[in-house]
Amino acid sequence: MISALWSAPDFAPFPSYLPPVYHSKVCAGFPTLIDETSSDPLDLNTYLVTNTASTFFVKVSGHSMDGANIHHGDLLIVDRSRCAKNKDIVVAALNGELVVKRLKKSKTDLWLCSENPLFPPVLVSQDESLMIWGVVTGSIHKFE
């Protein structure tokens, strides 16, 4: 095939016996389709975060949520754009402190529950200031 390419055309300004110089190598074998089928590496953000503007990461300190598989030192993914529903795990600002609890709502009362038999649920009374800071949508536990 190559010899067909360099049979010099009649109008060649140079003597036809000069061999042409190719810069690229000629490869044998089946061509790979990597270029067409390649995609970006998987990004954990797309798996863990739906709303990037309203998602924050926080660190857990303490053991009251062990039963929900949220351990001391874990990283939580908190989405502020979710509305907290009954039984959601939330980060709440309770009396000026950020806490992680399971929210339980009844018709009249609001409870912040731990997931550890040692810690009883906390009834949020009217005069306590409670603000739901965000809804926990995931937790990351790293094995060191």
List of residues contacting another protein (CB under 8 A): 51-54, 56-66, 70, 72, 75-76, 80-81, 91, 93, 96-100, 114, 118-120, 122, 129, 131, 133
What is the Cα–Cα distance from 83 to 49, expressed in whole angstroms?
16
Whether 64 is a known active-site residue: answer: yes
* Smallest distance from another protein to CB 48, Å: 15
Cα Rg of the chain (Å, integer): 32
Are 76 and 100 within 8 A, CB to CB?
Answer: yes
Whether 39 is a known active-site residue: answer: no
Q: Which is nearer to another protein, 42 or 94 (CB)?
A: 94
Q: Determine how many CB atoms are found less than 10 A away from the CB of residue 44.
A: 8
Residue with tokens 């939580």: 76
* Smallest distance from another protein to CB 10, Å: 42
